[in-house]
Amino acid sequence: MKTNIRYARAATLLLFITSFLFFGSELLYAQQQQTTDSLRVDLEEIVVESSYSNITIDRAPLSVSYKLRNPHELISRPAATMDELTFALPGVFISNRENYALGERMTIRGLGWRSQFGVRGVQVIMDDIPLTVADGQTIMNMVDPAMVSRVELLRGPSATFWGNSSGGVLHLSTRPRADAPTFQYRGYAGSHSSVKQELKLNTNIGNARLYGYGTYFETDGFRDHSAARIFRGGLNFEKPVGIRSRLLIRTAFTSMPKAQHPGALTAEDASSTPTAATPNFVSSSAGKAFDQGMLSASFIQEQMRGIWDVTAHAAYRDLDNPLPFGYIGLDRLAGGTRTTYEFTTLPFDLNFGAEVKFQQDDRLETDNIDGERGNDVEVQQTETVTNGALFGRIAIPISDRLTTSFGLRSDWLHFNTNDEIGIAQEGDRTFFSLNPSAGLAYRFNQARWFFNFSTSFESPTTTELVNRPEGGNGFNKNVEPEKTIGLETGVQGNQGRFSYDFTVFAMQVEDLLFPYQTEENGPTFFRNEGNTRHYGVESTVGVALLPNLQADLMVTFLSATFNNGEYDGNDIPGVAPFRFGSIITYTPGIHNFSLDNEWIGSYFANNVNSIKNDSYTLFNFRWSATLENIFSGVTVNPFIAIQNIFDTRYNTSVAINAFGGRFFEPGSDRNFRAGLQIGF
């Protein structure tokens, strides 16, 4: 019954969004008919959008990675999870857990390592809609990686721009190329009974642009009790409003009525029976089902002295999450507004702004009776988070080539809980953080050198605060935000067919939020303990060996260790010290061949460094062809993708500090996808 309600909600929301955008675009088009300039041409320029500031890449005093997906990759890469898009980017490490109930595990320079599910410590934005809510939680299930056309990555602490939980920023865009087909279909099927269907729209209505997508994905999963079914959709609208103003409306919706949770395995089970699931996860029907919708609207106006930008966004989430130790239900409302003003007539760059975010979680936790909600209520409360911030940034040109910049942001966060079954033991928490940054950038003819000092902070999330070792309602009063200070310097550039990026960095995290468990398959608790230090080198090289042969290589070295506290000198678990990624693409005529390689060094699974996940290397192959003359005005692209060509046995991720030795989450064996893309 509840599944039918979810489908009805999804259909109703998508119908509302489509109607709203269509009729809104018609109304705005009618108002602008007499002011349209037929000689006007809008040209796209590459900017660092993930900083929420109009900084061009050649002037950015920080480490930035930029990936524009080419047509062959959009056709042939299954892109079921985000690691397929980022394995050749420096700094970011995304582990595909083969578990849609938990989602991918992501770290940037080692930050975010403690996350047991979802993403912590870093910000994720999709089409200018923050997926990271006020308390710092990020849910990656909203992203269909196959729909992402562009990836931007800020690899260092970025709280000056983004506030809470900004150890790095991943900015994703689903905006298609201007010359993309009006309608496009892609479908594939393959191993583990996986099926994917995709539809894309890209059109103009007058001088307005409308683009979006709808996708369906279903799989039985590589492991037992790991099946998933996901519906995703998005619709985006862009239109000039007057001569110097623009209106942008973004929407996204995801319904995941089924995502089974197989749990983690011991080292012996992961090696001998990697497809197995943890028995009590099966008996308790562990998994996740949710609906989530998001909406954002931006108004950008070019004024006499600068550019004014105001954005508002809102989201809801309806979650059911049965687990062996209980049954968690969550209804979330979240959103916020942000306004910035950027001066354009001064001899230097100056922008400032303000931001407000809110989050309200209605939480109900009971016992789990054979996969159904029990009557024994453990937690029933409403959790509210409010975040207010003021920020500013100035960039002063010292010469034609050298620019210095300074930024500052202040954040105030207030957590409150209203216990519905008693008196909350600790119902309020308030945090304040001040985060400065400073940088230098020097432009050469075909390159730039930069130096950057930056900071970030990460507050405990509501999920982490509500888990009290002593039990009961309210918030844990013994945990505080962790703070990060980072330094980095590097050079990025290109020379003809050769591009490169080389960066050295150092970071220290203080008052570390430390996860631990007190019983097998039980909840995860947190406390502040010690510091961590992160040092590393990141490098990428892109070479056009021949006009039809391209090679892209990435190498990352990272040392991340505990400093002070119980585990002084030990490596941080879940963080690979060495990574290598490469993509070689060959395009003879209408055919396109790609070979991907990823090598992940061994890393520890627990703080005491007694359990290690072995290193592994994977090879993936893709082929696609472009057939343009079969039907008039129609392009047909068949494709084949083979993952893990050599059938390597490996563990794709680990459960950090898991109780009972169940650390390992096995990765898939050799698997295939074959499909077709049609554009018209």
For residue range 65-88, what is the model confidence (pLDDT) as tens digits? 989 999 999 999 999 999 999 999
Q: Are 342 and 366 in contact (CB under 8 A)?
A: no
Residue 554 has pLDDT above 90, yes or no: yes
Is residue 358 a part of any domain in this protein?
yes
User: What per-residue confidence (pLDDT) applies to 21?
Assistant: 36
pLDDT tens digits along 217-246: 999 999 999 999 999 999 999 999 988 999
Q: In the predicted model, what is the mean pLDDT of residues 269-292? A: 94
Q: In the predicted model, what is the mean pLDDT of residues 461-465? A: 76
Residue 56 has pLDDT above 80, yes or no: no
Of 1-5, 370-374, 580-584, the range with the lowest mean pLDDT is 1-5
Rounded to the nearest integer, the mean pLDDT of the chain is: 87
Q: What is the CATH number of the domain that holds 635?
A: 2.40.170.20
Tell me the CA distances in angstroms from 28 to 15, 46, 132, 289, 307, one per residue in order: 20, 27, 31, 38, 21
User: What per-residue confidence (pLDDT) applies to 521?
Assistant: 60
Residue type, 419: D
Which residues are registered as beta bridge partners of 130?
A: 125
Work out the end-to-end distance of the chain between its first and last CA atoms, rounded to an integer number of angstroms. 39
| pLDDT confidence band for 562 (50 / 70 / 90) | very high
Residue 39 has pLDDT above 50, yes or no: no
User: What per-residue confidence (pLDDT) applies to 10?
Assistant: 41
Residue 309 has pLDDT above 80, yes or no: yes
Q: Strand 326-343 vs strand 306-323: parallel, antiparallel, or unpaired?
A: antiparallel
Is residue 120 a part of any domain in this protein?
yes
| pLDDT confidence band for 157 (50 / 70 / 90) | very high
User: What per-residue confidence (pLDDT) applies to 52?
Assistant: 55
Q: In the predicted model, what is the mean pLDDT of residues 530-549? A: 94
Of 234-238, 363-367, 427-431, 548-552, the range with the lowest mean pLDDT is 427-431
Sign of the CA dihedral running 103, 109, 112, 114: positive
Domains identified in the chain, total number: 1
User: What per-residue confidence (pLDDT) applies to 461?
Assistant: 81
DSSP tag of 588: -
Q: Give the C-alpha separation, 134 to 115, whole Å.
A: 17
User: What per-residue confidence (pLDDT) applies to 671?
Assistant: 95
* More confidently predicted of 32 and 155: 155
Which residues are registered as beta bridge partners of 624?
A: 592, 639
| pLDDT confidence band for 282 (50 / 70 / 90) | very high
User: What per-residue confidence (pLDDT) applies to 53?
Assistant: 54
Residue 475 structural domain: 2-35+45-679
How many helices (DSSP H) and strands (DSSP E) are in the chain? 7, 36
Q: Are 577 and 604 in contact (CB under 8 A)?
A: no
User: What per-residue confidence (pLDDT) applies to 88?
Assistant: 94
* More confidently predicted of 478 and 506: 506
User: What per-residue confidence (pLDDT) applies to 5?
Assistant: 41
Is residue 169 a part of any domain in this protein?
yes
Is residue 40 a part of any domain in this protein?
no
Structure tokens at 214: 């709808």
| pLDDT confidence band for 9 (50 / 70 / 90) | very low
Residue type, 20: F
Is residue 122 a part of any domain in this protein?
yes
Highest mean pLDDT among 470-479, 553-562, 650-659: 553-562
Structure tokens at 417: 């809980």
User: What per-residue confidence (pLDDT) applies to 471?
Assistant: 60
Residue 604 has pLDDT above 90, yes or no: yes
pLDDT tens digits along 342-400: 998 999 999 999 999 999 999 999 999 988 998 898 888 888 999 999 999 999 999 98
Is residue 486 a part of any domain in this protein?
yes
Is residue 177 a part of any domain in this protein?
yes
Residue type, 389: A
Residue with tokens 């000039």: 240
Per-residue 3-state assignment (H helix, E strand, C coil) for 16-37: HHHHHHHHHHHHHHHHHHHHCC
| pLDDT confidence band for 464 (50 / 70 / 90) | confident
Residue type, 345: T
Tell me the CA distances in angstroms from 182 to 268, 287, 304, 630, 635, one per residue in order: 52, 38, 37, 18, 12
Of 161-175, 412-426, 433-447, the range with the lowest mean pLDDT is 412-426
HSE, side-chain direction, 13 A CA sphere, residue 312: 2
Is the overall model pTM greater than 0.75, yes or no? yes
